[in-house]
Each structure stands twice: as C-alpha cells, then as structure tokens.
Amino acid sequence: MKRTLTFLTLLCACMGAAAQSQQLFDDGWLFTHNGTSAIVNLPHDWDIFTAPDPETGITGTGGGWYHAGKAEYKKYFATPRAEVVKLHFEGVYQNAVVMVNGQKAGQHAYGYTPFTVDITPYLFKEKKRKNEVKVVVDNSQQPNCRWYSGSGIYRHVWLQTMPALHIAENGIFVTTPEVSAERATIRVDVDVQNEAATEQQAIVKLEGQQQELSLKARERKTITFTYAINQPRLWTPDTPHLYSVNVQLFSKADTRRPLAQISSSFGVRSFSFDAERGFVLNGKPMIINGACVHHDDGILGAMAFDAAEIRKVRQMKDAGFNLIRTSHNPTSRAFLDACDSIGMLVIGEAFDGWRTAKTTHDYSTVIDSCYQEDLRAMVERDRNHPSIICWSIGNEVIERKEIRVITTARLMKQAILKWDQTRPVTEALCAWDRDWEIYDPHAEVLDVVGYNYMIFKHATDHQRDPKRVIWQTESFPRDAFRNWAICYDNPYVVGDIVWTGLDYLGESGIGRYYYDGERPGESYAEGGQPDWHGACCGDVDVTGWRKPISHYREILWRSGESAMLTGSAATESLLYMAVREPDGYRGKINGTSWSVWPTWESWNWAGWEGKPVDVEVYTKAPEVTLYLNGREIGKKTVNRSTEYKAVFQVPYEPGTLRAEANGRSVTLSTAGEPARLRLTADKMKLTADGQDLAFVIVEVVDSEGRICPDAAISCEAVVKGNGQLMAFASADLKDREPTVTPCVNTWKGRAMLVVRSTHSKGKIDVSVKSSLPTATLTIRTGLQESR
C-alpha cells in the first residue's frame, strides 16, 4: 500500500543540496530500559515484551497491568547532504525528548500525535563524524491513559532532507468544492516554505499549470490551483477510487531540476449531514454502521506495522462495518491509507478528556499548552484522506456540568476549523445520571452530536431540537437490533457505532461474563479485574475470529432492505448459526454491561446429553428449518418482530446440526479428538523490507478437519530463515504469558502467530510443535509488491 504522500528522491545541483525526500529511519536503534540494552527495529513497544502483572503493573486495570517506565533509544548516522534535515516521528508514547549530539533538539508530550524536529543546527559538519540521536521516552507517570497505550517509539520514524526552499510539511491540501457525476472541481493549496536567510524565487507546477512566487527569508506562503476532472469516479466505501496530484517545486534560478516532487492521493466525493435526509454521500442517503477501534494491534501491542494496520481495517470491512471511530486518539497514517483504499469511513478523534482528569497524569496536565499543536498535527496530516468525514474533539469529558465546558468545546472547534473547514465537528456526549437535557448548550456547539449509550433519548431530543443530527458514538453490543431499528426508522439518527469492533488490550475485563465463584462486578469495580489484561467486548477477537454477534450485526445492516442504505452490495443469502453456552455447563453465567451471552460455533457439549441447548440462526430469509442428524427439529418464521433470529431449543446429542433458509444451509458438527494442527497464513509472500508481516492462524482440528472448540494444546512456534517471530498468542485475555514468547496454549482450539520479514529475500520456515504432529508452513520473501 502506498503512502498518502510520496516523495520522489531527485538529485538537485541547485544550492548543492539534495531534493526534498524522506527515508524510513526505523532500523538499528540501541534501546535501553532498566539497565538492559538491545538493538531493536521500529516500530517498538517495550510493554508488550513483558507479562501483565496486577501486583507490579503500574498502568493499573485501565492500562492492562503493564509496567511502562522510562527508556531511551539511540541511533548513529552520517550527516546527510542537505540544507535542512529533520526527524519526523509518527508516534512516541509518551513525553519524548529528542537529543542530537548531546543537545536538546525538541520534545513532544502527547503520545498519539506526530511531530517533527529540525535537527539541522545540531549535526556535525565533518563528513567522517557520526551523529547520535537519542530519544528519551518517559511513560513513568501513571496512570495516564484509560486503556493500553504501550510504551516507546511505536510508530515509524522518518529522516527528512530538503533544500531551504521546499514544500512545507503537510503542505498539500486537496479539496473538492464542487462534485457531480459529470464534473468535479479540484482545489489544491500548496504551502511553500523558505528557510533560507535570503529571499527566494520559486515556481510551482501541477496538472499542466504553474505559478511563480517570491518568498522573503523565513517566509511561508500558500498558493492555490484549481482544475477539473470530467466524469469523476466518486469515492465511496464500495468503490474507493483514489486520484493523485503531483506537485513540483523549482527554484526560478534552475527550472530543469525540481527541488521537490511530491504526490498526494485524494478521493472525489461530497457529503452532508442534516436531520431530514441524514448522512448523504454523493447524493445518496447512507446509514452508518460503525465500530469504535483503539490503536493497539492486539498481540503486537501498540507496534503500528503497516501490515497490522491494514489488517485491522480489513477485518472491520469484512465484518460489515462502514465506519471506524478512532477512539479516543489520532490513529496512524497507514491506518488511514488503508481506510482510503479499502473503503472505510472514519471519525478522526483527537482526545479522550479535557481539563478535568480521568486519570492522574492524563491530557488534562498539558491541555492548555498542547491542544492547538496536537489538533493541528492531526488535522493537517489527515485532511487529504477521503475516508475522514468528521473530526471528534472529545469523549465523555468529566467537566460536562461546568459552564467552562462550552468555552473549551468552542476553542477546540475553532482550532479544527482553522486547518479544515470541509468537515463537521462532533464530540461524544454522555450522562452517568438522570441529567441530559442540561447539555443542550454543549450539543449546540457541535455539527453532529455524539450520544454515548444515550440513543433512547433520540425521540424527545428530536422534538425539542428537530434540526439536531445524532449518531450513537458508543453502544452496548447486546443492543444491536434496537440500535439498527432506530437508525433505520429515523433519518436524523445517522448511525450507530458499537463499543467495540475489536477486542483490545487494557480496560481489563470490559465485555466479560463470569461464572459464580469468580470475581464479580464490572471492569471498573473497586480494584479492577486483576485476572484480565484486556477487553473482550469486540465483535472480533485479537486473533481475528468473528464472534457470533459480529455475524448477527452484519445480517442486520448488510442484508435485505438495509444493504442499500449502508452502501453495501445486497447480501440476501446471509445465514449464520451458533449455539448459546448452556447456563450451568461450566458454571452459572453472569453478564456485565458490555457482555453478550457466551455463544459459540460449537456442537461439542459432552456431558449435556438430553438437556436443552439453544441454537440461534440469524438471517433475513422469511423461514428457517433446523435439522439434527437428518431429523427435522422444526421451522421458525423470521422477521423484524423476531429480531431476525430463529431460536430453537434442542436436546443435545452429538452429530450434525443443519439450518436451511432460502435454499442455503449452514452446519455445525461435533468435533472428535484433536488430531493435528492446521496453519493458515493471511499471505504466503512477504516483502523483504524488514516491515512486512504474515498473520498465521493455528487451529486444532480432528481427523476430519473440524475445529476442536474446547482444545487447549500447549504449542511452541519456531521460525527459521528470512523472518522472525513477532508474537504468538491466543484470544484468551486472561493469559498472562507475554504475547511475544514462542509458547502458548490454544484457546477454544485456536491461536495466532505473527512473522516479520527481514531485508533478505528467500523463505521463512514456520513450524509449530505440540503433543500433536508438528505443523509446518513456508512463506516466501521477495521484492516489494503493491499492497
């Protein structure tokens, strides 16, 4: 997958400097933590290499009981041949101080926004001397986040070189002020920066046009180009077509060689929100079926490999979602690139809280000095992404009953609009008591009002304020049908965004159910849930397995009459079957706020013979017939009044269940004893760039290839050749074994390992040893291919 901004490296004779370019600066960092040093390649998160521990993990229940702390990264490099040299950090968690050759070059507090440090004044002039860059990362002040943050330089670092006259960082802004099926007007604002001590004459070219400009010393100017695209291919989630604009910068003194040549991708689309038609994309109403997604990549922790970010978006797309809310912080560039190319709408969220602390050392400690810089960093970097349809400025702020909250919301919105006036601004509001209407002045600041768990207020709110546009920015998974129905029936409620799309680290125990005798209560109970280090409220677990609630949600939103309104191809034939765990089979089941009843793709209930088991079938077909071992169990009518479920109570006996509807069928069969391991990789060839990943699913199957749903097999992964093992874990968020170790016990018959490429071409041999026959897989590595 190409990046949104592509720098084309060119040699430039003008001013004796290289043209504007950037190179990945991820490899070969000397990492030191707690007195121990090692060479690491970024992205890197030192927390995920440790075991969560409720006794010593200072991040607490919110952070998943990890250890955080303070560490440093060092790297040595020759002085580049350039007039201006900068380091761009996509994300460091957190409180980063950048030192170059022993001098402080820059610092950045917020762990989720990118930042750039000009290191030119600190570099050695002598060619033979190596420069030392040291990044000190201080994540020791805990707690500072309500979920797993990770610790370290967890996103990419880039070495940027440029002449003094160059295109400014994020200096290409593409908008589409007029869009129709026949013609689109494209506006491109280009920011040119002169960091020289003398006046410079420049020429900017794009799309056959050129403009000249004069820049005084240290001056930055914006010039605007417009052009048209006839019969444009419009960007939508189903047809995510991307265009690119190529901008060239020349010195007027030498028009033969460009100082910079930067290509920026964009999409052509128009959209609007209003209470009468709802959300309209390219002239067509669309209902939003969204998911909140945290920044971690599951068993990889916070390490934001491009391949992991792409996979995360793909999982949400495959699960039927059409929007992701980046709760509660800016995401990575690679994640948004994936949303653009795969087709996923995005709410780009900036902050969790504001001035009143949620945790002792959170953003409230730096908000006044940092919020404008952080909002600018998010908006300027991300505003060319067609996937982003809204900016979010906050989530469930604690000071919501104080009058100052209105001022803060206005200041946040003003800061957003300074850098982008093409998108609306939202915020996730909530109430933890009976007060709600008192927040009307706060809601009035917002263009689209976010309701966290408050959608039941929609009708009275609409009567009071008929122009208010609403989306439910967080919802309980178990309320899937109610939320779908409200959105389907009321255009002023433009969508529902479930908490969450994916299981994640931290917020330990959210979504859990528990048995009698286990620690009771919600995740936020006094003392937290020390048996857990993650949240299991996602539709998809950390190995990528889609839970039954995910299939149910997809059938609600993507099949039948809903398909057109979610921008999806019709999927009338969707049919899914799962089995509710019998209450008492493993203990009496107790739910929590974000839990659903434990439901499995399993017909293995040994010892429950003859006792009733509830079988659930999800479909929008009008009728379902269920068979057990060839015998008809019964027929059920399915419609809106049944919430598009057919529930059969079946006395358990081993064998095969079969559900039929509209000429289609699905089956569940009793698995036999574990016979072997099955390895399935998401791709069989990796790019030999030291960054690509393969995700390998490990399944315990019987002699017939059926997954053994209760199998807990101790496994050890061995990776040889031109790759390395990055992680090996199951979806069991109570397992405290570090995810990066080579050993794991399968959970529900399943685990996943992650393999990272090196810079060498060849092959990677993967083997998984256990009490069963050793399973093997070979992955090839080679030259870069488009992803």
The stretch 392-404 carries a mean pLDDT of 97
Residue 558: which pLDDT band, with cuts at 50, 70 and 90? Answer: confident
How high is the pLDDT of residue 460? 97
Q: Is the pLDDT of residue 1 over 50?
A: no
Residue positions counted in the chain = 787
Q: Rounded to the nearest 5°, which phi and psi values hold at 27? A: -90, 150
If you average pLDDT over residues 699-715, what whole number do you get? 98
Tell me the torsion sign for CA atoms 316, 319, 323, 327.
negative
Compute the distance between CA of residue 500 and CA of residue 487 in angstroms, rounded to an integer. 18
C-alpha 539/C-alpha 335 separation (Å) is: 19
Looking at the predicted structure, is the pLDDT value of residue 2 above 70? no
Is the CB of residue 494 less than 8 Å from the CB of residue 521? no
pLDDT at 127: 81
Question: Is the pLDDT at 290 greater than 80, yes or no?
Answer: yes
Any alpha helices (H) in 13-163, and if so which ranges?
60-63
Which pLDDT score is estimated for 9? Answer: 36
Q: Are 348 and 378 in contact (CB under 8 A)?
A: yes
Structure confidence at residue 502 (pLDDT): 98
Contact 219, 252 (CB under 8 A): no
Q: What mean pLDDT do residues 618-631 have? A: 97
Give the helix/strand (H/E) hosting 379: helix 367-382
pLDDT at residue 10, as a whole number: 35
DSSP for 419-472? H--SS-EEEEE--SSS--GGGHHHHHH-SEEEEES-GGGHHHHHHH-TT--EEE
By C-alpha distance, which of 777, 775, 761 is closest to 694? Answer: 777
CA 444 to the chain's CA centroid: 29
pLDDT of residue 489: 96
Average model confidence (pLDDT) across the chain: 95
Q: What is the pLDDT of residue 183?
A: 97
pLDDT score at 560: 59
- The reported pLDDT for the residue numbered 519 is 93
- pLDDT given for residue 14 in this prediction: 33
Given pLDDT bands bounded at 50, 70 and 90, which one contains residue 713? Answer: very high
pLDDT at residue 126 in the model: 87
Question: CA dist 651 to 3, 441, 576, 612, 654, Å?
Answer: 55, 56, 20, 4, 10
- Strand spans (E) along 231-375: 243-251, 260-266, 271-274, 278-281, 284-285, 288-292, 323-325, 345-349
Distance CA(185)–CA(716), nearest Å, equals 57
Element (H, E) at 380: helix 367-382
Q: What is the pTM assigned to this prediction?
A: 0.95
Q: For residue 243, how far is the Cα from the chain centroid?
A: 23
Q: State pLDDT tens for residues 104-159.
A: 999 999 999 999 999 999 999 988 899 999 999 999 999 999 999 999 999 999 99
C-alpha to C-alpha distance for 525 and 67, rounded to whole angstroms: 21
pLDDT tens column, 7-45: 443 333 333 457 999 999 999 999 999 999 999 999 999
**Residues near 269 by beta carbon (within 8 Å), at least 6 away in sequence:** 176, 179, 234, 235, 236, 281, 282, 386
pLDDT score for 3: 42
Q: Which amino acid is at 680?
A: T
| pLDDT tens column, 360-382 | 999 999 999 999 999 999 999 99
Mean pLDDT of 423-434: 96
| Residue-level pLDDT at 18 | 75
